[in-house]
A and B are shown apart, each in its own frame.
Chain A
Amino acid sequence: MKKAITDYDLWQNLLDGDRLALNEIYERSLSPLYQYGMRMLQDEDAVRDCLHNLFVKIWVNHKTLKPTDNIKYYLISALRNSIINYKAQEKKIQKVDIHENEVFDLKFTVEAEYIKKEEQSQKVMQLSDAMNKLTPRQKEIIYLKYFEEMDYDEIAEIMDLSKKGTYKLSARALEALREILNVDKAMLLAVLLAIKR
């Protein structure tokens, strides 16, 4: 079996101007990018535009890009920026406050058969209700952590939390999160520190 090329080498090939590397990167990372984009935008055409521009852009700028050993992380970060730019443009055109109807599409369902056991149903309902009430940003954090398996440092960097300082988990949100995830206060502090760094 052919050994798969590492992220670092594949990315390096792209930086050297290899078109096949770009196609390989596309094949490897489209699914997570699509999924993340759809949860951010809920509009396939818009996601398609953002993805199209993202891949064209990394090709056009391939000489100036920095090396990376985590392509998915790099591209999700880049896609997030282009989606935010897209939203900003939409806001200009449609004059809608994006914060009002900002959604991160992550729905917790109880239909899954493995959590349908009778004795747990009450607790499951409570939990999923509470989790569905999380803010879009909190949902995004959970998504990046458990679906994309990123660590808190990566999440903080992608979401630009340290820079802007605009994202402040309110006391209530913190409490909700603690309740939901059953995370103790010390742990939350660590998360918060990682985020604010």
Chain B
Amino acid sequence: MIIKSFKVMPNKTYTSYNTENFLDDADFLRYVKYNNSTDVSFWDIWQSTAPENLKSFNEAKLQLQIILSDQPRVETINFRDQLLLDINGSIDVIQKNKQRKTIRLVLNLGIAASLLVFAFISWFFLSTVTVKSNFAENRLVHLPDGSEIQLNANSVLTYARAFKWKARREVHLKGEAYFKVKHININPDQVKKGELFVAVTDGAKVQVLGTEFNLKYRHNITAVALIKGKIRVSSNKTGKSYMMHPGDFIDFDHDGNRIEKANTLNNQTAWLSGKIIVNQTTVNEILREFEDLYGYKVILDSPALGNKKIDGAISIRSEESLLFTLKNILNVNIQKEGKTIYLKNR
């Protein structure tokens, strides 16, 4: 049953109330419905004053009594307790499932995050960075350790993305490049991890601590020219290694044999200043260099011309200037068809 809190009787006289007013009055309803002693005494006194609308009062009271005559539907204690148990049971099941779902979600998220981190680390440590220069294009590459590499045209430099994290700094070269390797070795007698720098071509390996050298690998021939410091060069084929000192120059052919050759350092690094310095060099060799750097195929009219030897410096800064020089030295006409150049005797 509803327990209504007792309210102090409002200051009403009710003398002007008709039946419907009484029926709509909350205090009157409370009186008929609950028979509070305070309410009963109030209405007893009110009736004893014989108000004019006593008839309306009785009529409303009777109607309300009829309306309220229906017996309340009361649930059993068993119903009440059992239903509450069931409700709490259902909620517990829902709650547990939710928790399980949350745990599973967190678990899955954790797995996904780990996989992502793993994938990133794998990518970082297994992938490589490739820098490629096009024909007639030089590129300066800054390595993560501070070393600088000047790439000559038509060359490819590859190194691990985790360059600094590897046991040794290692780059791979196809083409030609000038290396300025940052020296990070403190004690030369004790070379620590990461201090050794290795430049690799398909033909040879150059191991250095910190130095400047030129490395070239074209047409299966590796050429190393040391400018500063000390490097160890070893052939991939024969495994033989050579200690080099500043000013030394080493060539390896495709069988890994060392080619001794009269050459000066200037010749090897002249490309850095946009030249080739030739010293009893055949026209064929010069043309091959030109082909390598600018991506043309050069065809000579007479094979004899190719064996002609030349001395001097030739500008390779632009293909036009190189062709102009050749034209004058060799006394030929130049005909360009797409990517092929014909040199014809005049």
Residues of A within 8 A of B (CB): 19, 22-23, 26, 30-32, 34-35, 38-39, 44, 48, 51-52, 55-56, 59-60, 105-112, 114-115, 120, 123-124, 127-128, 131, 142, 146-149, 180-184, 187
Judged by DSSP, the binding face of B is helix
B68 and A181 contacting across the interface, CB-CB below 8 Å? no
The CA-CA distance from A182 to B26 in the complex, in Å, is: 17
Given contacts A26-B87, A44-B79, A56-B90, contact A31 B1 (CB under 8 A): yes
Smallest beta-carbon distance B1→chain A, Å: 7
B67 and A38 contacting across the interface, CB-CB below 8 Å? no
* B residues in contact with A127, CB < 8 Å: 62-63, 66
B90 and A52 contacting across the interface, CB-CB below 8 Å? yes
The CA-CA distance from A146 to B34 in the complex, in Å, is: 12
The CA-CA distance from A182 to B90 in the complex, in Å, is: 49
* Interface mask (B65-89 → A, CB under 8 Å = 1, otherwise 0): 1111111111100011001101110
The CA-CA distance from A32 to B80 in the complex, in Å, is: 12
The CA-CA distance from A147 to B2 in the complex, in Å, is: 9
A selection of 14 A-B contacts at a CB cut-off of 8 Å is A22-B91, A30-B75, A31-B1, A38-B73, A44-B79, A48-B83, A112-B65, A115-B66, A146-B64, A146-B68, A149-B4, A149-B26, A184-B18, A184-B20
The CA-CA distance from A60 to B94 in the complex, in Å, is: 8
* B residues in contact with A112, CB < 8 Å: 65, 69
Given contacts A31-B1, A31-B75, contact A26 B64 (CB under 8 A): no
B20 and A146 contacting across the interface, CB-CB below 8 Å? no
Closest to A44 in B: B79
A182 and B63 contacting across the interface, CB-CB below 8 Å? yes
* B residues in contact with A107, CB < 8 Å: 70
B69 and A30 contacting across the interface, CB-CB below 8 Å? no
* B residues in contact with A131, CB < 8 Å: 66-67
Q: Does B160 contact A (CB under 8 A)?
A: no
* A residues in contact with B18, CB < 8 Å: 184
Smallest beta-carbon distance B221→chain A, Å: 76
Which residues from 84 to 105 on chain B have a C-beta closer than 8 Å to any C-beta of chain A? 84, 86-88, 90-91, 94
* A residues in contact with B71, CB < 8 Å: 109
* B residues in contact with A128, CB < 8 Å: 66, 69
A108 and B70 contacting across the interface, CB-CB below 8 Å? yes
The CA-CA distance from A32 to B79 in the complex, in Å, is: 14
Q: Does B29 contact A (CB under 8 A)?
A: yes
Please indicate which of the listed interface residues B1, B19, B63, B94 has the most CB atoms of chain A within 10 Å of its own CB.
Answer: B63
Smallest beta-carbon distance B44→chain A, Å: 15
Q: Does B291 contact A (CB under 8 A)?
A: no
Closest to B33 in A: A146
The CA-CA distance from A128 to B66 in the complex, in Å, is: 7
Closest to A39 in B: B73
Q: Does B59 contact A (CB under 8 A)?
A: yes
A32 and B2 contacting across the interface, CB-CB below 8 Å? yes
**A112-B69, A120-B62, A128-B66 given; 13 more Cβ-contact pairs under 8 Å:** A19-B91, A22-B91, A30-B83, A34-B75, A48-B79, A48-B83, A52-B87, A108-B69, A127-B62, A146-B64, A146-B67, A148-B2, A187-B24
* A residues in contact with B90, CB < 8 Å: 52, 56
* B residues in contact with A22, CB < 8 Å: 91
The CA-CA distance from A142 to B63 in the complex, in Å, is: 12
B20 and A124 contacting across the interface, CB-CB below 8 Å? no
The CA-CA distance from A56 to B98 in the complex, in Å, is: 14
The CA-CA distance from A19 to B87 in the complex, in Å, is: 11
B66 and A124 contacting across the interface, CB-CB below 8 Å? yes
Smallest beta-carbon distance B90→chain A, Å: 5
The CA-CA distance from A65 to B232 in the complex, in Å, is: 79
